[in-house]
Amino acid sequence: MDNMKELPLKLEQIIEKSLWENKTFGHSGTHVFKLTKNQKTMYLKINQISSEFNLEKEKVILEWLSGKLPVPSVIFFDIKNETEYLLISEIPGRCSHTFEKDTERVRNIEILAAGLQQIHSIDIKNCPLNNNPDMLLQLAKLRLKSGGINPKQFDNRWQDKNPMEFLNEVLKLKPTKYDLVFSHGDYCLPNVLINNKQLGGFIDWSYGGINDRYFDFAAVAWSIGYNYGEEYILLFFEKYGLDNVDWDRIKFFQMLNEFFQQ
């Protein structure tokens, strides 16, 4: 890597002589590299500190989840020159969005539903991070006030709205009470790994913490529709055990999440 000299010294020593592969994709500002050394695979995340949801929070959540869920282990974390470096272990498996056969997708829907039940069953007592919706709304207002929202990056459903109009619509849909659980925060198909037809584990925990159950429902419903097709969404909720889906609540959280995807 060209900027190897910029890495923290201890990190350099850990990953010395590793084979690097750039794995960055999506809209995140985080750079992700797959590192292979002595037949061992690790992942290095590098991020400029510019977001409320950052690699330090992911590190905190991963350490708290150790022994509770199948998640990566933290090997190294440090901040140098306003840049975060998080080195984690590999979770074996294949991202669930990459499966194409109907039989595979039906099986994966069952795994996704059971996986989210497992996440939501974690006791939130002593959870180190709180992402409750009221806090997220305050952050959304601050981002809007600072001019950090580009409506052109909204989902196609809402690109006709300016940011203030959009926020007002979000507030109209705000639930009167929340169902707080431990939440992944970005429960989309690329973040759930399937290994030998079973759950491999969960990755990308920067948004993890206490949140409304529907925050995860909103993310996974969109992701299933995008990756598998909308006909699989109701199957997911059936397998999760949710008989009556509150679609307005899902819309609220999908809209709220737009403020944190830029």
Query: pLDDT tens-digit profile of 88-106?
Result: 999 999 999 999 999 999 9
- Residue that terminates a domain, selected from 59, 89, 119: 89
Checking if the pLDDT of 262 tops 80, the result is no
pLDDT band of 26, cuts 50, 70, 90: low
39 phi and psi angles, rounded to 5 deg: 65, 15
- Residue that terminates a domain, selected from 69, 89, 109: 89
H helices of the chain, in order, are: 9-15, 55-65, 102-120, 133-145, 163-172, 213-227, 233-240, 247-257
124/187 same-domain check: yes
> CB-based burial of residue 253 (10 Å sphere; 0-12 exposed, 13-18 middle, 19+ buried)?
buried
CA distance 201 to 184: 12
Compute how many other C-beta atoms are within 10 angstroms of the C-beta atom of residue 153: 11
- Which structural domain range is residue 238 located in? 94-260
What is the reported pLDDT for 178? 96
- pLDDT, average across residues 253-257: 95
The residue to which tokens 């889906």 are assigned: 245
What is the reported pLDDT for 153? 86
78/100 same-domain check: no
157/234 same-domain check: yes
Checking if the pLDDT of 2 tops 50, the result is no
pLDDT > 90 fraction of the chain, expressed in percent and rounded: 82
CA distance 167 to 148: 13
Write the CATH number for 13.
3.30.200.20
25/57 same-domain check: yes
226/122 same-domain check: yes
Strand partners, 44: 33, 87
What is the reported pLDDT for 19? 96
Q: Which of 48-52, 135-139, 222-226 has the lowest mean pLDDT?
A: 48-52
What is the reported pLDDT for 238? 98
133-168 pLDDT, tens digit per residue, is 999 999 999 989 988 888 888 888 988 888 999 999
Write the CATH number for 223.
3.90.1200.10
Whether 186 sits among the annotated catalytic residues: the reply is yes
Instruction: Pick the catalytic residue from 123, 155, 186, 243.
Output: 186
